[in-house]
Structure 1
């Protein structure tokens, strides 16, 4: 089955809100319902459901900070669908979409430095840690697109 990103609509938002991570991961992930509310009332927020075949299995939200910077604020895969390569495929698709605006020079992500998987996972996509964020809580990592040739791969998007 293929992994894809789809718009969140009145037909799938409840299923996205019902997705959850394992108990030990909950301190690392924000609530999907709250994220959807944020996106509804703020400009520059984009949300996508992660699908595996025809099943919604995860959630993304990214924010356009300015004409050169995008930040991934939310990324989760439901506990029943983890360890299947879905998160890796979904992040690849999201990065492809995030890179589409012509002026984007930087993609940022923050994660809890105590998260045992995050550093290696994100660095495998080219994110480089630059230090703890301004709130002194999360690790900030970036992909700098200004000095590199961006290679874009085909994207499954519905």
Structure 2
């Protein structure tokens, strides 16, 4: 698979319906909000400046992510609602898109950390993010009670 076939595109009128049709595998649905809920949150919860993106394979949305809640003082930004459509899982696309997203975020945000939260019983997600370079921070998100995991941006750079 050519890496150039993977792109990150803002959700807009050209891809919104395709993004809304994406769903995680049924056993994952209790761990993540729908893309419709995320798009609504982006429009309503403006204090966190959420932006929603389609993860595209050959211009076709196959996944989704939300970026926002940047903290310029503590130098972190949230990667939220990262998902791959259930029909696209098991092909390595999620891992490829996660690495692409980490680079993409670093190019756009001057941060030391990229953080996300996940449900304490979601062991497959923990393994996925750990393979992607995230570590459990030991902190709990006060908003939803989930574990906060962190990717230290400088870990992949020479000192």
Q: 1:84 and 2:91 equivalent?
A: yes
Q: What do the CA deviations read for 1:128-158 (whole angstroms, capped 9, x no partner)?
A: 102233257311111223x54538xxxxxxx
For 1:64 and 1:136, locate their aligned partners in 2 and report how far apart those are by CA, in whole Å. Answer: 15
Relative distance call for 1:7 and 1:105 in structure 2 (3 A) is: same
Q: 1:28 and 2:28 equivalent?
A: no
Correspondent of 2:81 among 74, 82, 86: 74
Structure possessing the higher relative contact order (Cα contacts under 8 Å, 6 or more residues apart): 1
| Alignment TM-score, normalising by the size of structure 1 | 0.84
Pick the structure with more helix per residue.
Answer: 2
Give unmatched runs, 5+ long, in structure 2: none
Please identify runs of 4+ aligned residues in structure 1 that moved more than 6 A. none
Give unmatched runs, 5+ long, in structure 1: 152-158
Q: What do the CA deviations read for 1:59-78 (whole angstroms, capped 9, x no partner)?
A: 00011332211011211111
2:141 corresponding residue in structure 1: 133
